[in-house]
Structure 1
Amino acid sequence: MAKGFRRSYRFAIKTSIYVSLFLTGISAVFLIIHDAYSEWALLLYGFSCFIFSFLIIQYRVEAFIYKKIKKIYENVSMLSATPLNPEQVTTDMTSLSQEVQKFAEGKKLEIEALKVRDSYRKEFMGNISHELKTPLFTVQGYIETLLDGAMKDKNVRKQYLSRAAKGVERLVYIVQDLDMITKLETGELSLKPEVFNIVEVVQNVFDLLEMKAAKKNITLTFETPYAPVWVKADKERIQQVMTNLIVNSIKYGKNDGTTEVSIEDHSKKKIIIRVSDNGEGIQKEHIPRLFERFYRVDKSGSRKEGGSGLGLAIVKHLLEAHKERIFVESTYGMGSEFSFTLKKAKKL
């Protein structure tokens, strides 16, 4: 009872009592002067004044507050996901202040989120501008040099055209990777799940990247029995995930280092595949943003290694498309481990 007895009613009741007592007192004086005093009539008159005053005061104050607060809501309505209902605003100032505080906190969180997104957007635009600008200017420079007369020399012409072709190739990689991420986000890129041996996929990726690892004298090891491990997923996309993770491991691995792949049981229905290295590692503040497009841990050195800057972003989107998760563990100066899950399957 006490809980439901709002402060708005206390305000209205007290004000109504004051008004009623005042009117009743005036009426009593008037009746006494005219010798028409009646105790019951006076009480009835006082009670009627109280009820009438209470209803008028309660209604008017609620309407007044709602009208004023509604203007505040309207001023920020562009950020509001839910409209203001009259039931939300009463003369109960505690409830009213709670509603306004809740609204203000919600808007504050929205504004902070928008600021973060805007910061990411600016950084993303700067990154993509840099990634596209470098190969474009490279291609432009070689072509302009050839047009200025260098193409008359056969050896120079072949060398410059070869370098320009590499710049165009990098542009193609960036555009293709961006196109893939966009299709994954919009659901346009459909997966083709099949049952396959994940051990065979890892070995194929090792064969493809053996020469790349040899340039830094990095040893590729597979700490898993050669018995087949059957999974159900899109084989081509999972091979791309493995390739991107191992390429990333080689890129940031130290000379004479090791990149190791292992496969373990994660649960009754899933396995977990780990790609670990003893490279430079990743500082903690960078880990939450590793899978953003074009995000670079090393803003200068990593670009020397080439690539589109979208490898980990593609890995994340491909695994999310499979409804799987990816995990990262890293100790700066000691190495990193990327792991992801896949559904087990029986051999057909």
Structure 2
Amino acid sequence: MSLSPRFIALILALLISLITTTFLAFVEGVDRSMLFVVAIACFVSSFFLVLYTIDIIVFREVNKMYRTIHKLKMKDFNMVPRKRLIRESNPLKTLNDEIFVYVTKKQKEIDELKKLELFRREFLADVSHEFKTPIFAAQGFIHTLLDGAMEDENVRERFLKKAARNLDSLDVLVKDLLVLSQMETGDIKMNIEAVDILQLSLNIFGRLENIAEDRNVTLKVKPDDLSEVWVKADQDRMQQVMLNLIENAIKYGNDGGKVIVHFNSGKKYVEISVRDNGPGIPPEHLTRIFERFYRVDKSRSKERGGTGLGLAIVKHIINAHGTKIAVMSKPDKGTTFTFKLEKVFQGAHPENEESLTSQASL
């Protein structure tokens, strides 16, 4: 129950007046008129004295809190104005509620900063490790040649090729980091146009045909009777998305498995999914696979190659298209990546892209 200063003063004044007049009633020579005067005098004086005392105490405490808050420079503190606060039925409770809300908000921000700090440390450690591996390898090969192995033509050629491969890996890593950084800062713009996502996927099948044949993986598009699937997207970036998802499905799926790109056309959007029937991803890893350098099985990932930034880049590209990517996976049953793109409706000529092209910042 919320009690106002006036109500408290009224109750106390009545009690003081009642107690005083009760005691005086037992005193000889005191008549009713005198009791009435004493009761009124006690009530009035007690009421104003208690009310003034409570107001002074509340006012002083509220002022102290205000001074403390202003010293802390809480710009985002949504506080009730002081004059209105004093008129509240219980200003101290109101102020306490405001402070509690603010403290809760700040605690969440502190927790988020701690998470970001942990992420920063992990990221620096991962970057250092990823750079160290190709640099040390190339450095070892080159120093071996300089120490005398250069005279042997076979050794020289073999070591130079190995050093070149490691430097190429380092170059890819730097480029991926640069792309990811530009996407996060909004420096890269999305050139949205009409894209045949079906033909784009078939082209990627052709590019990855050798890798698929090495692992005896079958590449399919479903439904089988589709001839074209037009969506609004940045063609180069969407090609990067599909290449990464399909290549991952081939590399991390089972030998002799299947990779299926499925298109489900709705009223406004086309749902695209890339599915494999590989070993799947354990549930504890699903929430982190889009983090930079995060690998489910680090030793296996190293064998398959890659920078560990592919899915992080995929997530940013999909987000830049105004949608999100989802992943579902079950152990030994495969993994499915799914996202939606806005549909190009029939009747819109794909070559007339002036109405579709727009610049979308990340």
State the TM-score, normalizing by the size of structure 2.
Answer: 0.80
The CA distance in 2 between the partners of 1:178 and 1:8, in whole Å, is: 63
Q: Is the 8 A contact 1:16 1:53 kept in 2?
A: no
SS in 2 for 1:188: coil
What's the CA shift for 1:323?
0.8
What letter corresponds to residue 327 of structure 2 in structure 1? V
What letter corresponds to residue 349 of structure 2 in structure 1? K
Change (3 A) 1:333 1:64: farther
Q: Deviations over 1:5-31 (max 9, x none)?
A: 536555454555667789x88xx9xxx
Among candidates 42, 56, 61, match of residue 60 of structure 1: 56
The CA distance in 2 between the partners of 1:67 and 1:102, in whole Å, is: 19
Q: Paired residue for 2:290?
A: 291
SS in 1 for 2:298: coil
Q: Deviations over 1:181-227 (max 9, x none)?
A: 22222221112222232111011100011111222221111223241
The CA distance in 1 between the partners of 2:16 and 2:63, in whole Å, is: 25
The CA distance in 2 between the partners of 1:295 and 1:152, in whole Å, is: 42
What's the CA shift for 1:347?
3.3
Unaligned stretches of 5+ in structure 2?
351-362
Q: Paired residue for 1:248?
A: 248
* Aligned alpha-carbon RMSD (Å): 3.3
Change (3 A) 1:105 1:196: closer
Q: Paired residue for 1:262?
A: 262
Q: Paired residue for 2:353?
A: none
Q: Deviations over 1:284-320 (max 9, x none)?
A: 2211112111111113321222111011111111111
Change (3 A) 1:145 1:232: same
The CA distance in 2 between the partners of 1:293 and 1:219, in whole Å, is: 29
Q: Paired residue for 1:181?
A: 180
The CA distance in 2 between the partners of 1:347 and 1:188, in whole Å, is: 30
Q: Percent identity?
A: 37
Q: Deviations over 1:232-291 (max 9, x none)?
A: 2111111111000011111211111111111111x2111111110011101122111121
Unaligned stretches of 5+ in structure 1?
none
Q: How many residues align?
A: 336
The CA distance in 2 between the partners of 1:208 and 1:280, in whole Å, is: 24
Q: Deviations over 1:23-71 (max 9, x none)?
A: x88xx9xxx99xxx97776566445423432442222221343356558
Q: Is the 8 A contact 2:208 2:247 kept in 1?
A: yes
Q: Is the 8 A contact 1:195 1:230 kept in 2?
A: yes
The CA distance in 1 between the partners of 2:131 and 2:44, in whole Å, is: 81
Q: Paired residue for 1:127?
A: 126
Q: Is the 8 A contact 1:197 1:231 kept in 2?
A: yes
The yes-or-no answer on 1:329 pairing with 2:325 is no
Q: Paired residue for 1:234?
A: 234
Change (3 A) 1:78 1:124: farther
Q: Deviations over 1:165-196 (max 9, x none)?
A: 11111111111112112222222111222223
Kindly indicate whether structure 1 or structure 2 has the higher relative contact order, using CA contacts under 8 Å at least 6 residues apart: 2
Quick check: 144-153 or 162-171, which moved more? 144-153
The CA distance in 1 between the partners of 2:64 and 2:36, in whole Å, is: 42
The CA distance in 2 between the partners of 1:8 and 1:301, in whole Å, is: 72
What letter corresponds to residue 82 of structure 1 in structure 2? F
Change (3 A) 1:8 1:145: farther
Q: Paired residue for 1:149?
A: 148
State the TM-score, normalizing by the size of structure 1.
Answer: 0.83
SS in 2 for 1:193: strand
Among candidates 68, 77, 81, match of residue 82 of structure 1: 77
Q: Is the 8 A contact 1:6 1:92 kept in 2?
A: no
The CA distance in 2 between the partners of 1:203 and 1:253, in whole Å, is: 19
Q: Is the 8 A contact 2:138 2:167 kept in 1?
A: yes
Q: Paired residue for 1:6?
A: 3
